[in-house]
Amino acid sequence: MGSEIQKNFVEKNAEYAQTFDKGDLALPPAKKYLILTCMDARIDPAAAFGISLGDAHVIRNAGASAKDAQRSIVISEQLLGTREIILVKHTGCGMLTFTNDDAHALVKQNLGPTAAAELGPLDFLTFTDLEAAVQEDVGFLKRSATVPEDVKITGWVYEVETGKVRQVV
């Protein structure tokens, strides 16, 4: 028997597929941009940022880390033609609530030494200042030789309390 989550997943998908009529979209994003944002469950990128199906790549990870997203960004730009990056971190981000050491300690405590060894010196890419982290990540992308100079890059904060975005850089 599937879980309640699987049941919901299958049922809602069947409803979705019943009226689905976008099966002929092209693979490259039509509007040639990518949005990098956090995996936070309170962010609905398509609704909040006006993304129609087929328009843009949406890359998500813990904290909207540019470094963590580098692989996907290169693929998006070099293979699929995107020319603009909108980086969106958000208020109340979980990545503000623990340190890299905390995360490593938690892994060791909960999962044991084999798991800790498997992660090695992994950087969980936590941050302590939201605006500074947006600036740092935009700086990382602007300096990176893997991002062409003519790619437009802006950095934003999304407020989970109001649904509003504000530009940082």
List residues forming the annotated binding site: 38, 40, 90, 93
DSSP reduced 3-state for 4: helix
Give me the DSSP letters along 84-109: EEEEEEETT-GGGS--HHHHHHHHHH
CB 89 within 8 A of CB 158: yes
**Which parts of 93-112 interact with Zn ion (CB under 5 A)?**
93
Residue from 38, 56, 88, 168 touching Zn ion (CB under 5 A): that is 38
Which distant-in-sequence residues (6+ apart) come within 8 Å of 142 by Cβ?
153
Task: Draw the binding track, 66-95, toward Zn ion (x: CB under 5 A; -: no contact).
Answer: ---------------------------x--
Nearest CB to Zn ion, comparing residues 76 and 126: 126
CB burial of 120-131 (b: ≥16 within 10 Å; e: otherwise) equals eeeebbbbeebe
The verdict on 35 binding Zn ion (CB under 5 A) reads no
Nearest CB to Zn ion, comparing residues 40 and 68: 40
Which amino acid is it at 166?
R
How far is it, in rounded angstroms, from Cα 51 to Cα 152? Answer: 18
Binding-site residue numbers for Zn(2+) are 38, 40, 90, 93
Closest approach of Zn ion to the CB of residue 99, in Å: 15
The verdict on 137 binding Zn ion (CB under 5 A) reads no
Residue from 35, 40, 65, 69 touching Zn ion (CB under 5 A): that is 40
Q: Which residues bind Zn ion (CB under 5 A)?
A: 38, 40, 93
